[in-house]
């Protein structure tokens, strides 16, 4: 392999590969990026066996070839170079030279044959505006479980509907659901997309349509020259519509930013073991308080639209802050019942067809 290519364009495609490669792995090749030169392009690929990413960049190819290089160090070298044009020279099956102006690096790699075979996904393609997908992911990602033992909750449910797309995530303590209109949508069974794939999709940049293709065991997301393929999570997602309370009769609305900053301030005096604040609702106001025997106490009053009997409940301030951070409206509304029932948060006059976050109460 002998090629010349633009360093900045190369870096823009190398960057997303960092999130895919495994940093701590017993399989060395999974910490590598596969480089293949052919025609007038250099193809790139990275995988952790569950999620893979491929892309390419234009190149002046003198000789075709391929090699797998250690991702972290290779990207550090390319980033450190100052010349905008670099040359890659393959020296033997497992060695790559990187040349730019007066700099020359030689790094050891692995044979392309050692790199895993990436899955090919074929099926019906659904095109979705990428900006819409990215926005929807941001509104549910915080609710995806990080407990590996609950594997069926380690992702979000993607569900195509007639004229719409729905995403849902839950970790058992909270649930986030967002739905938006979609031209040409069709009713399909939901599919579980792993957390890592969602995170990497969020790092994509670009406009236009994201192509979604569903295979038997994998999903493929294509945007421009990039293709992200992930293994579909197995397991049964909870019946989330049954989880969402329909009989909460107390409705309270707030200025979102006022509530968010107040929650953050009061949460400063919560303990690491007991992350809970008390919400005390009264006519026209909410008192947010926290007590910690080691640190002290905090209380703040926030104005709200509420007229009814006083009541209180315990809330995890982190869960509340995550929801308030991604809502894009000036005001939010909570639907509640009592101290033992869930809090359902919703935007006031949002652009989403439907968006809500369910937060289970805590004992304080």
List the structure tokens of 228. Answer: 């992200």
List the structure tokens of 299. Answer: 């209380």
Backbone angles phi, psi at 266, to 5 degrees: -65, -35
Question: Would you mind telling me the total number of residues written for the chain in this entry?
Answer: 364
Confidence (pLDDT) at 131:
94
Query: Domains in the chain, please, with CATH?
Result: 2-114 (3.10.150.10), 125-238 (3.10.150.10), 244-359 (3.10.150.10)
| Residue in this structure with the two tokens 């390419």, named with its chain if needed | 56
Pick the closest to residue 80 from 31, 14, 29 (CA basis).
14
- Up-side HSE of residue 79: CA atoms within 13 Å toward CB? 11
Q: List per-residue pLDDT tens for the chain, 364 residues long.
A: 999 999 999 999 999 999 999 877 789 999 999 999 999 999 999 999 999 999 999 999 999 999 999 999 999 999 999 889 999 999 988 999 999 988 999 999 999 999 999 999 988 888 999 999 999 999 999 999 999 888 889 999 999 988 899 999 999 999 999 999 988 767 788 899 999 999 999 999 888 899 999 999 999 999 999 999 999 999 899 999 998 999 999 999 999 999 999 999 999 999 877 789 999 999 999 999 999 888 899 999 999 999 989 999 999 999 999 999 999 999 999 999 999 999 999 999 888 899 999 999 998 7
List the structure tokens of 302. Answer: 């926030």
Confidence (pLDDT) at 149:
82
Distance CA 50, CA 32 (A): 15
Distance CA 142, CA 64 (A): 44
N-terminal to C-terminal alpha carbon distance within the chain:
65
Backbone angles phi, psi at 122, to 5 degrees: -125, 140
DSSP reduced 3-state for 140 = coil
Sheet with 174-181: list strands edge to edge.
191-194, 155-161, 164-170, 174-181, 354-359, 343-347, 331-336, 250-255
Confidence (pLDDT) at 185:
66
Confidence (pLDDT) at 196:
95
């Amino acid at each position: 392999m002998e090629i010349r290519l633009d360093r900045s364009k190369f870096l823009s495609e190398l960057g997303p590969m960092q999130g895919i490669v495994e940093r701590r792995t017993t399989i060395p090749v999974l910490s590598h990026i596969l480089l293949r030169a052919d025609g007038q392009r250099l193809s790139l690929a990275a995988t952790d066996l569950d999620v893979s990413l491929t892309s390419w960049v234009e190149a002046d190819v003198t000789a075709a070839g391929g090699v797998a290089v250690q991702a972290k160090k290779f990207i550090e070298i390319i980033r450190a170079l100052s010349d905008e044009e670099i040359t890659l020279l393959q020296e033997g099956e497992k060695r790559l030279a990187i040349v730019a102006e007066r700099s020359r690096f030689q790094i050891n790699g692995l044979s392309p044959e050692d790199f895993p075979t990436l899955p090919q996904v074929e099926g019906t393609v659904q095109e979705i505006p990428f900006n819409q997908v990215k926005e929807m992911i941001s509104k549910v990602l915080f609710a995806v479980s990080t407990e590996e033992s609950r594997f069926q909750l380690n992702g979000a449910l993607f569900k195509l509907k007639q004229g719409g797309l729905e995403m849902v995530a839950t970790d058992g303590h909270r649930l986030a659901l967002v739905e938006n209109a979609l031209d040409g949508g069709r009713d399909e069974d939901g599919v579980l997309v792993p957390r890592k794939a969602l995170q990497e999709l969020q790092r994509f940049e670009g406009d236009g349509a994201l192509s979604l293709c569903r295979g038997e065991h994998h999903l493929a997301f294509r945007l421009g020259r990039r293709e992200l393929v992930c293994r579909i999570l197995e397991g049964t997602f909870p019946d989330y519509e049954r989880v969402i309370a329909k009989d909460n009769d107390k409705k309270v609305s707030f200025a979102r930013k006022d509530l968010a900053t107040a929650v953050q301030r009061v949460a400063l005096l919560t303990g690491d073991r007991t992350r809970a604040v008390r919400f005390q609702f009264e006519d026209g106001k909410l008192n947010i308080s926290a007590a910690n025997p080691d640190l002290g106490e905090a209380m703040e009053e926030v104005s709200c639209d509420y007229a009814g009997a006083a009541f209180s409940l315990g809330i995890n301030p982190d869960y509340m802050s995550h929801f308030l951070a991604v809502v894009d409206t000036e005001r939010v509304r909570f639907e509640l019942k009592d101290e033992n029932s869930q809090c359902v948060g919703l935007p006031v006059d949002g652009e989403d067809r439907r968006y809500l976050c369910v937060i289970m109460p805590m004992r304080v």
